């Protein structure tokens, strides 16, 4: 693998836990648990490779539509993850940021998320963004609202509102745009993930289900990215 052509910002839609559970004839909650293991390995590898930013889609604003049992299992896993991993992530100098509406989360989960962000605030390694209770449209609406509030207060003029100003109100403010978006399980859609930030991202849709996505699959994705010809609307050669 060529380390000179690594993307700065990788985004992953970790999809396929349900189908994986079905394949193995086990409960969906166990599929999600297995998915967390895959996530650990990919975070570690991203940090070791020196990737600048990794954004993971863990729970969408639409995922509340699932059965109460599944939502509860996911909330439980989330709490468990943030409680058990925080020391190691902090030690690895990982900076955690939550993308999404923390206020809409149950109390204990919200506190764990805030604690993870605060504890790792000063870290300078991998910028790990975890999207929880996240929706791209909600994020854009929120950004518009914040700009409108600033304008009403007289802090900015409407004519000052440009792409940069909007980007500055997103959960991802300060981060580079997404270079590479990976969605596992073969589904080819964004499902409301990072709509603004993926404007010029390269997309990859490996068919492997998320719990089976390993470091080798990750390397293959990074190699495929390195072979892409990015033009950003201009002309290369
Ligand atoms: C993705 O796996 C994880 C979450 C949405 C939390 P799914 O649960 O969507 O897996 P499939 O799509 O049913 O296989
Ligand atoms: C997107 O996957 C959300 C996460 C992976 C967290 P979904 O499985 O919820 O998306 P759809 O419903 O197939 O579009
Ligand atoms: Mg899915």
Residue of 191, 192, 205 to test ligand 2 pocket, by largest number of atoms within 8 Å of CB: 191
Question: Which CATH superfamily is 8-140+178-224 part of?
Answer: Decaprenyl diphosphate synthase-like (3.40.1180.10)
Ligand found nearest the CA of 58: 2
- pLDDT, residue 237, reads 64
60 lines ligand 2 (CB under 6 A): yes
Most distant CA atoms of the chain, gap in Å: 59
Write out the H or E segment, with its range, that includes residue 57. Answer: strand 53-60
What is the three-class DSSP state of 133? strand
61 lines ligand 2 (CB under 6 A): no
Which residues surround the ion ligand 3 when the cut-off is CB under 5 Å?
15
C-alpha to C-alpha distance for 169 and 144, rounded to whole angstroms: 8
**Contact between residue 123 and residue 93 where contact means Cβ atoms under 8 Å apart:** yes
Handedness of CA 205, 117, 168, 151 (dihedral sign): positive
Ligand found nearest the CA of 19: 1
* CA 141 to centroid of ligand 2, rounded, Å: 20
* CA 37 to centroid of ligand 1, rounded, Å: 15
Ligand found nearest the CA of 28: 1
Task: Indicate the domain borders of the chain.
Answer: 8-140+178-224
- pLDDT, residue 217, reads 98
pTM: 0.97
Q: Provide the residue-wise pLDDT of the chain in tens; the chain has 237 residues.
A: 778 899 999 999 999 999 999 999 999 999 999 999 999 999 999 999 999 999 999 999 999 999 999 999 999 999 999 999 999 999 999 999 999 999 999 999 999 999 999 999 999 999 999 999 999 999 999 999 999 999 999 999 999 999 999 999 999 999 999 999 999 999 999 999 999 999 999 999 999 999 999 999 999 999 999 999 999 999 976
Which amino acids are annotated catalytic? 15, 63
Closest atom of ligand 1 relative to the 21 alpha carbon: 14
* CA 158 to centroid of ligand 3, rounded, Å: 39
Question: Do strands 202-204 and 180-183 pair parallel, antiparallel, or not at all (unpaired)?
Answer: parallel
Among protein residues, the one with the nearest Cα to ligand 2's atom 9 is: 63
């Amino acid at each position: 693998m060529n380390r000179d052509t690594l993307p700065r910002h990788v985004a992953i839609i970790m999809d396929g836990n349900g189908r994986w559970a079905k394949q193995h004839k086990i409960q969906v909650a166990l599929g999600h648990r297995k998915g967390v293991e895959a996530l650990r390995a990919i975070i570690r590898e991203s940090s070791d490779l020196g990737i600048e930013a990794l954004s993971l889609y863990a729970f969408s604003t639409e995922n509340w539509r699932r059965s109460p049992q599944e939502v509860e299992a996911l909330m439980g896993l989330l709490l468990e993850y943030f409680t058990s991993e925080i020391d190691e992530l902090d030690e690895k100098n990982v900076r955690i940021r939550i993308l999404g509406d923390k206020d809409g989360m149950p109390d204990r989960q919200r506190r764990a998320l805030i604690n993870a962000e605060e504890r790792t605030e000063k870290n300078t390694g991998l910028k790990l963004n975890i999207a929880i209770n996240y929706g791209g449209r909600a994020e854009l609406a929120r950004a518009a609202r914040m700009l409108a509030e600033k304008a009403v207060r007289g802090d900015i003029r409407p004519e000052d509102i440009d792409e940069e100003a909007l980007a500055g109100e997103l959960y991802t403010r300060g981060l580079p745009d997404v270079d590479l978006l990976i969605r596992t399980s073969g589904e080819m859609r964004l499902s409301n993930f990072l709509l603004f930030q993926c404007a010029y991202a390269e997309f990859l849709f490996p068919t492997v289900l998320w719990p089976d996505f390993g470091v080798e699959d990750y390397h293959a994705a990074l190699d495929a990215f390195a072979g892409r010809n990015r033009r950003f609307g201009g002309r290369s050669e």
